[in-house]
Amino acid sequence: MSIYRNAVWFVKGLQEYTKSGYEAAAKHFSPADLDANLSDRCFMVTGANSGIGKATAQEIAKRGGTVHMVCRNKERAETAKGEIVAQSKNENVHVHIVDMSSARQVWEFAQSFSQNNKLHVLINNAGCMVNQRELTEEGLEKNFATNTLGTYILTTALIPALEKVEDPRVVTVSSGGMLTQKLNVDDLQFEKGTFDGTMAYAQNKRQQVILTERWASQHKEIHFSSMHPGWADTPGKALSSPEEFHKQILSKLRTEAMGADTVVWLAVSPAAVKLPSGQFFQDRKPVATHLPLASSRSSPQEEEKLLAALEEFAQKFKP
């Protein structure tokens, strides 16, 4: 990981990714952008039982949207659903139990869902940061399987359903941490060298941004976007950050609702789809996907190699 990229990113984060960064940006937000009646719209939110995913599902349910929560843990999902229904007074909230690290499970769920449900907006929020190299039952590195391959399979499998509706959208919750990484297509499962969970996560998030750009160029009728939620105080953030570092910046972290704000805006606002598809957003604005002088850009050939590898993995586990 480049020392230069890391240093520039950290300074940028302290200025922009914190609570104060959000509050400064929010002064320019239009409240009317989220003033929507979503009673005729269906949304899927992965990783919706806590953190930014739950906050996103909550805001959509409050506006009348039908919410499909895709979660791994049934008990936690049902508890979150009960809280969302109670607070939103919206009964159209449904739980689907899927392990996003299992390629076969994701395929089976997406195929079944497409046959029985309508979908207007897919929100790829589920993610993990495993700090020691761990393989899934299918023999895949867990961060890659969850963050990249699971997102790839779910999105590509649901594109035909999205193409059937009006104003379809796909929002992928990436991370500003991807700015520290240049795409490495030669070691997608982190088999070489010493394993670094933070680096693996950031690499996956870079992959998600590239996928979003590629999907946007291939499927013009769907609005694709990726985004950075900022540094939010979520269960995932607490688990993934060193304990001492988390304590030091706790007072600076955004709330879960602040982290979810741009996700919701991209999912429901008429203003969002007036902007070009495929962009990376932060606080409701498109932002650069590379730091200045960071040498993190990949070639078209490298990006093609990524897509080919993901498609090969996807077909291997397709039922």
Q: Is 201 one of the catalytic residues?
A: yes
| d(C-alpha 281, C-alpha 285), whole Å | 5
Strands 121-124 and 169-173 come out as parallel
Give, in degrees to the nearest 5, the angle at Cα 74 between 72 and 79: 115
Between the alpha carbon of residue 106 and those of residues 98, 136, 274, the distances in Å are: 7, 14, 31
Q: Which of 6, 14, 9, 45 is nearest to 254 (CA)?
A: 14
Q: What pLDDT shows up at residue 13? A: 92
Contact criterion met (CB below 8 Å) for 227 and 171: yes
Between the alpha carbon of residue 117 and those of residues 44, 58, 84, 301, the distances in Å are: 11, 20, 21, 37
Single-letter amino acid code for the residue at 317? F
Q: Which two tokens stand for residue 206?
A: 């870079």
Give 10-residue mean pLDDT values along the chain (319 residues).
84 94 96 91 98 98 98 98 98 98 98 97 97 97 98 98 98 97 97 94 98 98 98 68 61 94 98 98 98 94 98 97
Q: What pLDDT shows up at residue 309? A: 98
Residue 296, classed as helix, strand or coil, is: coil
- Cα of first residue to Cα of last residue in the chain, in angstroms, is 37
DSSP for residue 72: S
| d(C-alpha 192, C-alpha 79), whole Å | 40
CATH ID of 16-28+43-316, from 3.30.70.1400, 3.40.50.720, 3.50.50.100, 1.10.10.10: 3.40.50.720
Q: What pLDDT shows up at residue 173? A: 98
Q: What pLDDT shows up at residue 234? A: 79
- In terms of C-beta density within 10 A (0-12 exposed, 13-18 middle, 19 or more buried), how is residue 302 classed? middle
Q: What pLDDT shows up at residue 247? A: 65
Q: Which residues pair with 141 in a beta bridge?
A: 135
DSSP for residue 99: -
Q: What pLDDT shows up at residue 250? A: 76
Q: Which of 17, 22, 152, 201 is catalytic?
A: 201
Domain ranges of the chain: 16-28+43-316
